A = this chain, B = another copy of it.
Amino acid sequence: MNDTGARADADFEHAFDRAMNLQPVGPDRLRGHTEAAYWNMVGPYGGIVAAVVMRALMLRADRVGDPLQLTVNFAGPLKAGPFDVVVDARRTNRTTQHWSIEIEQPADDGNGAQVVAIATATTATRRTVWSQPEARPPEVPGPEGLERLGPRGNLRWPTMYDMRYVQGLPLQPGDGTSLSMFWIRDQPHRTIDYPALTALCDASFPRIFVVRGSFTPIATVSMNIYFHGSAQALADDGNGHLLTVSEAKVFDAGFFDQHSTVWSPGRRLLASTQQIVWYKE
């Protein structure tokens, strides 16, 4: 495998697909296992947790349409090991369907289960009606001429992405703003789907690392994603490097926000995503 190529071996399983391996263990209940390849500092990368929620939704035979909205609240740390995903179709309408999804693990004291992620999602049937983009991606150099981001200390998850920064590298002196723009793609390459798009919506480093250029402990509290395209649109124009533009609006009293857009190679908006993040000091 070369540094930018896809794996073509028939017996190759991408670590992302291992992370997405969910098996039914009861009605509306799936079991998965944390995947070391996407480890963050003290637990799984948040994007992979959100992707597990999305994967559980995509497995539902009774799903109406494609994902439209996902909100994941990170209620507590996910420990290495097995976890359960509980999926509840709360209400089904003609063009939209509303879901509640939770991830549970055995409680620390051994008594019962403890919720670690609480999510709501909407799937929806898209229709051929008047459509119009309004926001446009910034004009930036393509990924070909840019250097791939090297390892970030001992963090595992960044090595699972081919990230090429246009501006706004974390943990180094910058221009005093939190703005980053970078190209991103799964590494090794993998055909995009909603779980993979969900995961990379979390790949912007914490904005506080960019605006200050230095480290402080952080934890995402809640992450929201709007998906702006059908499965067909994602298949047609979602493969290749995607451009992410990310910035904060305010760092206030221990919490900051982070707003990102994710653009296709053909300059289509695939996702808009926000998160609110705890920071220590």
Binding site for B on A (CB under 8 A): 68-69, 71, 73, 75-76, 90-91, 93, 95-96, 98, 100, 102, 114-115, 118-120, 122, 124-135, 177-178, 211, 221-222, 224, 226, 228-230, 247-255, 257, 259, 261, 269, 272, 274, 276, 278-281
A129 to B133, CA, bound (A): 40
A98 and B118: CB pair below 8 A? yes
- The 7 A-B pairs with the shortest beta carbon distances in the complex, nearest first, are A126-B253, A135-B249, A75-B91, A75-B98, A71-B71, A69-B222, A127-B254
B71 and A100: CB pair below 8 A? no
* SS of A interface (majority): strand
A279 to B281, CA, bound (A): 43
B69 and A90: CB pair below 8 A? no
Chain B residue at smallest Cβ distance from A254: B127
A221 and B68: CB pair below 8 A? yes
A224 to B135, CA, bound (A): 20
27 A-B residue pairs with Cβ-Cβ distance under 8 Å, sorted by A, are A68-B255, A68-B276, A69-B73, A69-B221, A69-B276, A73-B122, A90-B118, A100-B100, A100-B118, A124-B255, A125-B254, A129-B280, A131-B250, A131-B252, A132-B251, A133-B249, A134-B177, A134-B247, A134-B249, A134-B251, A135-B250, A224-B274, A226-B274, A229-B253, A249-B261, A249-B272, A274-B274
